[in-house]
Structure formats: structure tokens, C-alpha cells
Structure 1
């Protein structure tokens, strides 16, 4: 008998022993719903109520999962819980109205609010999601969505992504070998729009490697990226804005280890070929990059270098950003690169040897 069943039986026994002749306490309403190999995760999620936990035992599950009930936790038992796409025929046969938009969109796990109301307090943790044509774990219109201890790899676009969401926590994950960003956060992916206040969303303690871009923060404000290990990508951390208002910014990038992001990636519609970019700010304002180790990022892309301030591709300048107290070493073409013409950008007390233009170290 596995630990999840033992814990569940122990809890049930305690309640029976303590509650003879009396009503069970209200907390008993929050049930663990256990899914075993061969069973449907989606069926358990559909049966879950606010406050319930769906525990997925070790095994490989071929399905997409859509969560639209607030306050639900989807929890695996670690690396042994694996979610992969269903075979095409099986996916067609098993599709339901609840899951169509997630599976047909090429996503593994979807947490989905509505146009008028964010879905709150959903947690996805302790599992592996791999092989989906778009995204491993995707949240849209969420509030306080937490993704932690998830291994998201070999997904076609993003490993873990959130859009139009607030107060998110992306923590202690391993996002690797995905087609675009390992971790991707944005205001919206469907239209051009001004930056979105993310309500102090936190991205921390993740290991992000061998993606096109490690971590992308696009058109957002009020967010922290801290204490992540970012390596082996074509570009490490991208903070991206554009001509829309409000402008992207008020972001802190701190205490990250960003090293050897020297994989080579071809150009796309949005970006030139990438290689050797550590931390890049483009089209942002009032963003602070502080206390990071940025080392051995080497390439010949226009965006190559340790910490790079780059005028956006639509001509928007970066203004009032502060790059301070970073250890920036052995990057090429330089440790600090500023090709922007924006105002009031400051490079202060960084440990580095070479900059473009000279004098930033």
C-alpha cells in the first residue's frame, strides 16, 4: 500500500475514532481524490470541489487536464508522475467539452479563468509534463496560481506559462529542452496591449536550461525574478516591452545565476538569431537588475553579452533602469552592453572588465 493511501486511511480512522456520535469537522469536506494508473485525472479534477487535492500516483498518464474550479490542488508524487499527450485517436475518442480547449491547443495542464473572473488559488505540483506541442503547464486569467516542483521538458513552445494573471508563484521547477521559453510570463499572447500589473508575481529557485530562452517576461509590471539558475539556453533572461502603454517595467531581476547561455538558435519573426545573451532588457522602464552572477555568455548576435540594454525592435527606448552590484565576467562581446538611446539608465558598482561602450564597468 502506498504512502498516499496510508495517510488517507490514517486520517479516516482518526476521524471515526474521534467522532462517534458527533458530526465530522468541516475540514473533512476537503478530500484527497486519488488517481491511479489507468484512471482519468480529468475525471477526478471534474469531481473536485474548492479545497480538494487530486493526488496522482506514479505512472504515465496520456491526457490533457483542464482545471476550472478555484482552490484545487493537482499533486503528483514526484518525477514518477508523468503526463504526456494522448495518441491522436485516443485523444479524439476521449475528448470532452471540458478538455477540448486544452488538448486541442496543444497544452498539458491548463488552469483557466474567464473574461470576467480570474480563477484563484490553484496549485500544480510534484509531477512531470512533457511532449506537448505547445505548453506543459499553462495558466490564463489566474489569481495566486502556484506551479512548483514540476519538471516541464520537451514541450513545443513553453515549459510553464502564465498570461493575464496576478500574484503567481513559479517556484522550484525544472524547465528544460522546450521549443521557446522554459518559463514564459506575459500580459496576453493574443493581441497587442499595454503592460499588465502582475500583482507581485514571483519566479524563484527554478532551474531553466537548454531552451531557446530561459525566462521571458513580456509586457508586465510589478514582478520579481530571483535566485534562478539559468544555463545552456540561447538567451538567459529576457525582459521585453514595446510601444504600448503602460510600458513594461517595475521589475526586479536579482540573485540569479545566469551562465553559459551559448546555445545557438535561428532567427524568428520577433527576434534575430540568438546566442550568448545573459540578461536582456529591451523597451522597459524602472527595472532593476541587481546582485546577479552573469558569466561566460558568448555570441555574435546583436543581443549577445552579459547584461544587455537594447533598444526594442519597434524603436522604443529603455528608460530609468538600474543595473547595479552584479558580478559580470567573461562574457562576449562584453560584460555590459548598452546599445539603447534611452534616458536615465544607470550602471553602478558592477564587477566587470569590459563594456560597450567603454566606461560602464
Structure 2
């Protein structure tokens, strides 16, 4: 080998070394695979930001807590099933963080810090069922994505989030949960004004056989669109109260809301529910548009197709726009407005037959 060849080889080796040294950080992201019989929590604890924990098909009896930003927790569609342990305290090895989640009755918990949001976590392609409270619960997050998750038969909510921003809840299924299938709120433990969700999105979900399909409580700046809400006691609830800022400045658009005619008994906050499509109570400047709301029948104070319900705490729904919706076969009426005429709510372009008071169609 000549000196020229040696020099060329040395130069080439140095160049390759330089490229290796500057490999993008994303190339170092790992996939940690969990097999049936292994601990999901153990893999989550070992994961770093940007990693994926892939949970293979099977039934896993544990609760899982995620506190790592940028983590993806992914299953294999509904064939990855997370259920409560058969006996209290029977958590699998490696689950250092999950007892708090499990003790609270939750299946998956995505938890940020008190003053620092947990960013860019994704939970996808799995089923969580049979927990005492919530299938998937999140708090203190930013840009959480929950998609293709099935949350069935949980004791309170299917999928729930509070004190968070810019969440995306897309193409999930929630059935048979004792309260809302999907529940988004500012806080459930404190009386506070509505939180700016900074563009949270609830879209293309299927909500069936819950007490309420979707509840949005004390939030602003979000969109509820293209969801199928069927067979619940009530379809979609947008709830505000006397705190400021008021709930509202959001859109409920292009949803199919049909036959939410189950009976649910009254609670401390609400009368009994039956035959309720979309409800606004204590909200301002909400847009309800291009929804199809059909087949609701009931005699509850909240029954009807689209209902502006006068808040129990005396807060008016004001300056809301109900436009271009298609409503059929809703009783006592397709459109129900319990607010005074001077509240500034507008009803325009809706295809319907009956309203209370008359003249809204």
C-alpha cells in the first residue's frame, strides 16, 4: 500500500467517524418491548424521553404511571388489555410508581409536576378496562396524545384529563363507564375559573353506553368534532359555573349525536338524565354547528336535542351560537332554550321542527 493510499484511508476513516459522532439524537431512541407476563411499569421506568414502550398482545393485570416526557406507550390495538390486579397489593415486580395510580382506582396515569407540565406523551393502541375509577387519567400535561385507546367498563370515567393544555383525543372508544366516556376539566377538586386549553382537540371518538358521552367542564378554547355519541344517558355536556373566566369560547361541530336515551338517576349536581343530545350550561360564546342530533326522548329538565340549560347556581348561558345543525325526532323539542331572550344566544340555519320556546327553528 502506498503512502497515498494510507493517507486516503486515514482521511476516509476520520470522515466516517465524524458522521457517526453527529448522528441525530432521534436515532438513539429505543423501543422497549413488553411480553405477556412482564411488567409494563418496569419498562416505563427504564425508558428515556423519546423512547417507545411497545406492549405486545395479552392481558396485563397492573396499573401504569408515566412521568417521562416524550414517551410513547403503545399496544397492539385492543389485543393489549390492561386490567386491575386480581388481588389488592398483587402488583407485579418493577412497578415503583404505580401503587399511587392503582390506589386511586386508575389504570394508566400520565402525571406532570405541580408547576411543570409533562410534555409530548403518547398513549395509543391498547385497551384499559375494569378499574374502580378511570381507565386513563392525566393531569398536568401539555400536548398529550391519546389515540386508538379503548376504555370500557370503568367505575367513573373512561378517559379523563384535568389541569392540562393542548391535549389530543382521537379515534378512541369509551363504553359502559359509570360517568363520562371522555371527561376534560380544569380541576375536579377546586373551584376555579375556566382554563384555557390552548386548542385541545376531541375528534372522531366513539362514545357509547356511558352516563354521559363527552363532558367538557370549565374549559375554554377547544374543539369537539366528528365524534359519534350514541346510547348514553346524555350525549355532550359543556359545563360552566359562577367562576371567572367563564367556560366557553369553544366549538362543538359536526358530531353525530343519536338516541342517547338511557336512564341515569339524579346526582348531587344534576337531575336524572334521559334523552339528552347536546347541553350547554353556564357557558358563553360557544359555537354549536353542523351537528346531527336525532332520536332523543325524555322528560328530564335536560331532555331534548340541543339544550341551553339554566345553571343550578344561577349562571346564564350567554352569547352562544347554535347554527346549521340538523335535528330530528327529539322530545320535548329539537331546540330548548331555558335562558331569557336578552341573554344574546342565537339560533340560525338549524333544520328542525319543534322548539321551546317556539320560533327557534
TM-score (norm 1): 0.92
| Structure 1 residues without counterparts, runs of 5 or longer | 1-18
Equivalences, count? 343
Deviation of the 1:88 alpha carbon: 2.4
Tell me, in whole angstroms, the C-alpha distance in 2 between the residues paired with 1:292 and 1:94.
48
Quote the residue 1:357 is aligned against. Answer: 357
> Which structure has the bigger radius of gyration?
2
Tell me, in whole angstroms, the C-alpha distance in 1 between the residues paired with 2:259 and 2:190.
33
3-state DSSP of counterpart to 1:102: helix
Tell me, in whole angstroms, the C-alpha distance in 1 between the residues paired with 2:35 and 2:327.
48
Quote the residue 2:64 is aligned against. Answer: 65
Tell me, in whole angstroms, the C-alpha distance in 1 between the residues paired with 2:88 and 2:267.
32
Q: Is the 8 A contact 2:281 2:310 kept in 1?
A: yes
3-state DSSP of counterpart to 2:78: coil
Quote the residue 2:334 is aligned against. Answer: 335
Tell me, in whole angstroms, the C-alpha distance in 2 between the residues paired with 1:279 and 1:162.
20
Quote the residue 1:133 is aligned against. Answer: 132
Tell me, in whole angstroms, the C-alpha distance in 1 between the residues paired with 2:301 and 2:100.
38
Does 1:320 find its partner at 2:319? yes
Quote the residue 2:41 is aligned against. Answer: 42
Q: Is the 8 A contact 2:241 2:313 kept in 1?
A: yes
Tell me, in whole angstroms, the C-alpha distance in 2 between the residues paired with 1:168 and 1:88.
33
Quote the residue 1:10 is aligned against. Answer: none
Quote the residue 1:346 is aligned against. Answer: 346
Tell me, in whole angstroms, the C-alpha distance in 2 between the residues paired with 1:27 and 1:343.
53
Deviation of the 1:87 alpha carbon: 2.0
Quote the residue 1:145 is aligned against. Answer: 144
Give runs of ≥4 in structure 1 deviating > 4 Å.
19-22, 92-97
Does 1:23 find its partner at 2:38? no
Deviation of the 1:79 alpha carbon: 1.1
After TM superposition, the structure 1 stretch with the greater mean CA deviation from structure 2, 24-33 or 112-121, is 24-33
Tell me, in whole angstroms, the C-alpha distance in 1 between the residues paired with 2:211 and 2:219.
20
Tell me, in whole angstroms, the C-alpha distance in 2 between the residues paired with 1:272 and 1:88.
36
Q: Is the 8 A contact 2:234 2:261 kept in 1?
A: yes
Cα separation, partners in 2 of 1:21 and 1:196, compared to 1, 3 Å: closer
3-state DSSP of counterpart to 2:242: coil
3-state DSSP of counterpart to 2:101: helix
5 Å-filtered alignment, 1:1-361, equals 23=20, 25=23, 26-91=25-90, 97-341=96-340, 343-361=343-361
Tell me, in whole angstroms, the C-alpha distance in 2 between the residues paired with 1:89 and 1:219.
35
Deviation of the 1:111 alpha carbon: 0.3
3-state DSSP of counterpart to 2:146: strand
Cα separation, partners in 2 of 1:302 and 1:92, compared to 1, 3 Å: same
3-state DSSP of counterpart to 1:334: coil
3-state DSSP of counterpart to 2:241: coil
Q: Is the 8 A contact 2:310 2:316 kept in 1?
A: yes
Deviation of the 1:191 alpha carbon: 1.0
3-state DSSP of counterpart to 2:250: strand
Tell me, in whole angstroms, the C-alpha distance in 2 between the residues paired with 1:28 and 1:288.
44
Tell me, in whole angstroms, the C-alpha distance in 1 between the residues paired with 2:77 and 2:95.
27
TM-score (norm 2): 0.92
Residues 149-183 of structure 1, C-alpha deviations (whole Å, 9 max, x = no match): 01100000000011011000000001110000000
Q: Is the 8 A contact 2:240 2:283 kept in 1?
A: yes
